[in-house]
C-alpha cells in the first residue's frame, strides 16, 4: 500500500512479532546485519536494530535521509551513538519496561544455576555416569539470609530484588545516587563501592555499559569480595574484566558466576567453558514470546508517534 510507512528491521523475530511489524508498516527484515552499502536502506523511514548491530557515528552519517528514526529492540543502548543519532535529526527509540520481568527472571535463573552448581549437575547427569544420590554430592549454597547486592539498581535491578526477597535475602545496592525510599523498598544503599562489594553475597551486575561501568568488576574490586560470593551479570559483558574474574573463579577467590552476557559475544573468552563453577546462558535475558511481542508493540507505538509528529514514550532520554 502506497500510504504505508516503510521500515527496515535488521534482524529476524519470532513469527508473531514479525507479523505485528508487517501489520503496522511495510516492513523489510534483514538477516542480522546492516548492508555494506547503507544506501540500500533508501526508502525506509525507520531502522530497527538490536545489540549486536552497531549504529555508531560512521553508520549514522551514512544512513539515507529517508530514515527518520533509529530504534533498538533492547533496553541496552551501548551499541548506539545516541547523541549522533539525535544530532542527525532522527528520533532514537528503545524498549524499556516491557522486558524487565523477563530479564529479572533470568537473573534468578543465573543465581540458582550458580549457587546450586547447575553446570556440574547437568554435566553429571548427562554423562551417564551418575552413581546415585549421595549426601556429599554437589553441595551448593543456600540463599536465605544472604545479601543480594545490585550494582545498577534500575528497573531490572529492582525487579530482581523483588524476586530475591522471596528467597529470604536482604537487598543492598550501589548506585551513584540513592533512590527515593518508596522506590528502594527497604533496600540498603551503600554509597561506597568497596563496602558494597565486601557486604554482598550475590552480586547482580545490572547497570548499563558506559565508560564509568566498563570493567567495574576488576582485580582490585574482586579482592574486596568474599570468597563465597557469587557474581551474576545481566547487564553487559564488558562490565566485568574477564582477566580478573576468570582467575578468581579458577583460584576459588570467587565461588561461582552466572553470566547471561559476555564480553565480545558471541566470541566470548573460551576459558569460561573450562570452569565448572560458571553457569552461562547465551544472552537470553529477554527471550520470552510475551516479551518479544511486547517489545515489538513498544517500537510500533513509538514509530507511529514519530511518523505522526509526536514524542514517543519510549524515546531514548
Ligand atoms: C537488552 O535489552 O539490552 C537485553 O540485553 C537484550 O539484548
Task: Give residues with Cβ within 8 angstroms of 135, minimum separation 6.
Answer: none
Centre of ligand 1 from the C-alpha of residue 199, in Å: 28
For the domain that residue 89 is a member of, what is the CATH number?
3.40.50.720
Ligand 1: does its nearest atom lie under 6 Å from the Cβ of 234?
A: no
Q: 262 in a domain, yes or no?
A: yes
Ligand 1: does its nearest atom lie under 6 Å from the Cβ of 285?
A: yes
E strands in 101-194: 147-151, 170-174, 188-189
Q: What is the full per-residue pLDDT of the chain (317 aa) written as tens digits? A: 446 999 999 999 999 999 999 999 999 999 999 999 999 999 999 999 999 899 999 999 999 999 999 999 999 999 999 999 999 999 999 999 999 999 999 999 999 999 999 999 999 999 999 999 999 999 999 999 999 999 999 999 999 999 999 999 999 999 999 999 999 999 999 999 999 999 999 999 999 999 999 999 999 999 999 999 999 999 999 999 999 999 999 999 999 999 999 999 999 999 999 999 999 999 999 999 999 999 999 999 999 999 999 999 999 99
Pairing of strands 278-280, 256-259: parallel
Q: Which residue's alpha carbon is at the smallest distance from atom 3 of ligand 1?
A: 76
Ligand 1: does its nearest atom lie under 6 Å from the Cβ of 51?
A: yes
Which is the closest atom of ligand 1 to the Cα of 286?
Answer: 6
Q: Residues 314, 93: contact at Cβ < 8 Å?
A: yes
Which of helix, strand or coil describes residue 67? Answer: coil
Are residues 274 and 137 located together in one domain of the fold?
yes
Centre of ligand 1 from the C-alpha of residue 285, in Å: 7
Taking alpha carbons only, the member of 107, 100, 252, 94 closest to residue 166 is 107
Pairing of strands 188-189, 147-151: unpaired
Q: 312 in a domain, yes or no?
A: no
**The C-alpha cell of 96 is what?**
524499556
What is d(CA 13, CA 75) in angstroms, rounded to the nearest whole number? 16
Q: Which residue's alpha carbon is at the smallest distance from atom 1 of ligand 1?
A: 74
Are residues 193 and 266 located together in one domain of the fold?
yes
Ligand 1: does its nearest atom lie under 6 Å from the Cβ of 237?
A: no
Are residues 106 and 165 located together in one domain of the fold?
yes
Are residues 181 and 258 located together in one domain of the fold?
yes
E strands in the chain: 6-9, 26-29, 46-49, 69-72, 91-93, 147-151, 170-174, 188-189, 202-205, 230-233, 256-259, 278-280
The span from the first CA to the last CA of the chain, in angstroms, equals 33
Q: Which residue's alpha carbon is at the smallest distance from atom 2 of ligand 1?
A: 74
Residue-number span of the structural domain to which 31 is assigned: 6-98+288-307
Ligand 1: does its nearest atom lie under 6 Å from the Cβ of 72?
A: no
Q: Which residue's alpha carbon is at the smallest distance from atom 7 of ligand 1?
A: 74
**The C-alpha cell of 15 is what?**
513469527
Taking alpha carbons only, the member of 281, 279, 285 closest to residue 115 is 279
Are residues 67 and 175 located together in one domain of the fold?
no
Cell numbers 516491557: residue: 98
Are residues 43 and 152 located together in one domain of the fold?
no
E strands in 32-133: 46-49, 69-72, 91-93
Which are the catalytic amino acids?
236, 265, 283
Ligand 1: does its nearest atom lie under 6 Å from the Cβ of 258?
A: no
Are residues 251 and 272 located together in one domain of the fold?
yes
Are residues 33 and 109 located together in one domain of the fold?
no
Are residues 118 and 240 located together in one domain of the fold?
yes
- The total number of structural domains in the chain stands at 2
Name the region of 201 (left: φ>0; alpha: ψ -120 to 50; beta: rest): alpha
Are residues 122 and 76 located together in one domain of the fold?
no
Q: 192 in a domain, yes or no?
A: yes
Pairing of strands 188-189, 256-259: unpaired
**Tally of CB atoms within 10 A around 140:** 17
Which of helix, strand or coil describes residue 258? Answer: strand
Q: 315 in a domain, yes or no?
A: no
Q: Is the pTM of this model over 0.85?
A: yes
Which is the closest atom of ligand 1 to the Cα of 236?
Answer: 5
Amino acid at each position: 500500500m502506497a500510504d504505508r510507512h516503510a521500515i527496515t528491521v535488521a534482524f529476524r523475530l519470532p513469527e508473531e512479532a514479525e507479523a505485528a511489524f508487517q501489520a503496522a508498516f511495510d516492513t523489510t527484515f534483514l538477516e542480522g546485519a546492516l548492508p555494506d552499502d547503507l544506501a540500500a536502506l533508501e526508502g525506509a523511514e525507520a531502522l530497527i536494530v538490536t545489540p549486536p548491530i552497531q549504529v555508531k557515528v560512521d553508520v549514522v552519517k551514512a544512513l539515507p535521509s529517508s530514515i527518520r528514526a533509529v530504534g533498538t529492540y533492547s533496553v541496552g543502548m551501548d551499541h548506539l551513538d545516541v547523541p549522533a543519532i539525535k544530532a542527525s535529526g532522527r528520533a532514537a527509540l528503545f524498549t524499556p519496561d516491557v522486558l524487565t520481568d523477563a530479564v529479572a527472571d533470568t537473573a534468578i535463573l543465573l543465581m540458582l544455576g550458580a549457587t546450586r552448581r547447575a553446570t556440574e549437575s547437568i554435566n553429571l547427569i548427562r554423562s551417564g555416569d551418575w552413581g546415585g544420590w549421595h549426601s556429599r554430592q554437589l553441595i551448593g549454597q543456600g540463599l536465605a539470609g544472604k545479601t543480594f547486592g545490585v550494582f545498577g539498581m534500575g528497573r531490572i535491578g529492582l525487579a530482581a530484588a523483588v524476586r530475591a526477597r522471596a528467597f529470604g535475602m536482604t537487598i543492598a545496592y550501589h548506585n551513584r545516587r540513592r533512590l527515593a525510599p518508596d522506590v528502594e523498598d527497604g533496600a540498603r544503599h551503600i554509597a561506597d563501592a568497596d563496602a558494597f562489594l565486601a557486604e554482598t553475597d550475590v552480586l547482580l551486575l545490572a547497570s548499563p555499559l558506559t565508560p564509568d561501568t566498563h570493567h567495574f568488576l576488576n582485580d582490585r574490586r574482586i579482592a574486596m569480595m568474599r570468597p563465597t560470593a557469587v557474581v551474576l551479570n545481566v547487564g553487559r559483558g564488558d562490565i566485568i574484566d574477564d582477566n580478573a574474574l576468570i582467575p578468581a573463579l579458577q583460584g576459588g577467590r570467587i565461588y561461582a558466576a552466572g553470566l547471561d552476557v559476555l564480553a565480545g559475544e558471541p566470541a566470548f573468552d573460551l576459558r569460561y567453558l573450562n570452569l565448572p563453577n560458571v553457569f552461562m546462558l547465551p544472552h537470553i535475558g529477554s527471550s520470552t514470546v510475551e516479551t518479544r511481542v511486547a517489545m515489538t508493540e513498544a517500537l510500533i507505538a513509538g514509530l507511529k508517534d514519530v511518523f505522526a509528529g509526536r514524542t514517543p514514550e519510549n524515546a531514548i532520554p
